[in-house]
Amino acid sequence: MSASPRQLTRAYIHLARLTHNLRLLENQAGTAQVWPVIKADAYGHGAKYVARHLVDLGYRTMCVASVVEALALVEAGIDAVYVVLSATLPEHSEALAAHPNFEPVVCTRDMLDALGAAGIAAGRPIPLHVKVDTGMGRIGIQPDELRGFLDHARRLPQLRVRGIMSHFPRADEADKTYSHEQLERFRRLVNDTRTEGVDVYHMANSAALLDVPDSGFDAVRPGIAMYGLRPSADVVNPCVSELQPVLEWKTQITFLKEVAAGAGLSYGHSYYTHAPSLIATVPLGYADGFSRRLSNRAELIVQGVRCPQVGRITMDMSLIDVSALRGRVTLGDEVVIIGQQGETQITADELAAKLDTINYEIVTRIGPRVPRIVIANGDESD
């Protein structure tokens, strides 16, 4: 029997680069534990592969967005403590309590009550993290509610407040005034609760870990930097230039044709050739996460040369003008969407700038039909 066919558009995940980035971040973290953030399928990198590698490296605690994400990792056989970062509803309390290594982030009394009941049913205390909004303006109780919230939790016999946490909304900006004010608020909370038996205070994301001194407390929660991407152009820590992008995104040429000058290409003929042109087709479309809004704006690398994407990006295919490579280009040639070929590189930041968004969105949007191919010790596997 022949081998099963492979998708031609693929994301390559370089585990050695992940290890390298983590080493840099560990240095920054000092004595604080590093709790890698692997939510949203590890920012599009493939949570199963990333989590497995993290366990191999000795990481024990990781952060996910939801109990569904945590369960998928447990079902994949990846044994770790999963801090569940997003607010959730009491309907998930049973699932959260069913696994001793799930540690939900809690910010409503309804959820405390539901988890308390689920803990009684499970016959063991549920470890949780109380989220305090020190200035993020998203989820969390207000700082002046913390005392009452902790009292409420203490009255429920099967709850254990293991952590108190917060989050930075502006640590990636050049002006750190707001982050320092927030840090001061969090420090007061730490001091006020020192006798409460809380194990872990944690607040820092990548930008804070890199650029807000003393924001580490007991644990830090880096996401984007671990994947080798900078949180923003304003993060100045020199270690940012040493980060290595973990993900490369590549495809291959599946069709080539010469067209005359003035030929309309793809839906709506949003592009007409200016001269006789050699046009390549790649099996890459907006269904793969290559945004339609990049139409006629992106470049891709073929044979080490940047070539313009032309015409509308469609669901499954896009066109590239490879006229500059006449006589050199052929069917099956590798095409780089994000990554490096020879001396030429295209970054997630470049695509983000064209789409007026952030690198986070570019990598998390790479679609589920794009296989993640793990590169470890030079070998590929999926």
Ligand X SMILES: Cc1ncc(COP(=O)(O)O)c(C=O)c1O
- Catalytic, 267? Answer yes
Q: Which x/- pattern, by CB under 6 A, does the window 75-104 give for ligand X?
A: ----------x-------------------
Q: What's the Cα-to-Cα distance from 124 to each of 106, 116, 158, 239, rounded to whole Å?
A: 18, 10, 6, 43
Judged by CB, which is closer to ligand X: 205, or 281? 205
Three-state SS for 29-77 is: HCCCEECCECHHHHHHCCHHHHHHHHHHCCCCEEEECCHHHHHHHHHCC
Which residues from 8-37 bind ligand X, rule CB under 6 A?
A: 37
Q: Using CB under 6 A, which of the segments 9-17, 201-209, 276-284, 362-370 binds ligand X? A: 201-209
Cβ-proximal residue to ligand X, closest one: 223
Distance CA 288, CA 9 (A): 8
Judged by CB, which is closer to ligand X: 189, or 224? 224
Q: Is the dihedral of CA 132, 134, 135, 141 positive or negative?
A: positive
How buried is 296 (Cβ within 10 angstroms: 0-12 exposed, 13-18 middle, 19+ buried)?
A: middle
Q: Is 48 in the site for ligand X (CB under 6 A)?
A: no
Rounded least distance, CB 180 to ligand X, Å: 18
Size of residue set near ligand X by CB under 6 A: 12
Judged by CB, which is closer to ligand X: 114, or 209? 209
Among 231, 245, 285, 311, interactor with ligand X by CB under 6 A: 231
Q: Is 205 in the site for ligand X (CB under 6 A)?
A: yes
Judged by CB, which is closer to ligand X: 72, or 87? 87
For residue 136 the two structure tokens come to 């993020």
Give which of 148, 153, 145, 146 is closest to 127, Cα–Cα: 153
Give which of 214, 118, 215, 98 is closest to 159, Cα–Cα: 118
For residue 41 the two structure tokens come to 């399928």
Could you count the other beta carbons within 10 Å of the beta carbon of residue 7? 14
Which residues from 167-186 bind ligand X, rule CB under 6 A?
A: 167
Among 52, 221, 250, 372, interactor with ligand X by CB under 6 A: 221
How buried is 252 (Cβ within 10 angstroms: 0-12 exposed, 13-18 middle, 19+ buried)?
A: middle
Counts of helices then strands in the chain (DSSP H, E): 11, 21
Strands 10-14 and 102-106: unpaired
Judged by CB, which is closer to ligand X: 84, or 284? 84
Among 9, 28, 88, 206, interactor with ligand X by CB under 6 A: 206
Q: Using CB under 6 A, which of the segments 6-14, 119-127, 220-228, 311-319 binds ligand X? A: 220-228
Q: Is 140 in the site for ligand X (CB under 6 A)?
A: no
Strands 344-346 and 334-341: antiparallel
Rounded least distance, CB 39 to ligand X, Å: 7
**Which of 59, 82, 267, 271 is flagged as catalytic?**
267
Give the length of the chain.
Answer: 382
3-state secondary structure of 288: helix
Judged by CB, which is closer to ligand X: 10, or 162? 162
**Which of 12, 39, 59, 250 is flagged as catalytic?**
39
Q: Using CB under 6 A, which of the segments 7-15, 107-115, 216-224, 235-243 binds ligand X? A: 216-224
Judged by CB, which is closer to ligand X: 225, or 370? 225
Among 46, 116, 125, 223, interactor with ligand X by CB under 6 A: 223
Q: Is 362 in the site for ligand X (CB under 6 A)?
A: no
Could you count the other beta carbons within 10 Å of the beta carbon of residue 57? 14
Strand partners, 336: 250, 301
Rounded least distance, CB 2 to ligand X, Å: 41
Rounded least distance, CB 210 to ligand X, Å: 9
What is the binding site for ligand X (CB under 6 A)? 37, 85, 167, 205-207, 221-225, 231
Q: Tell me which residues are annotated as active site.
A: 39, 267
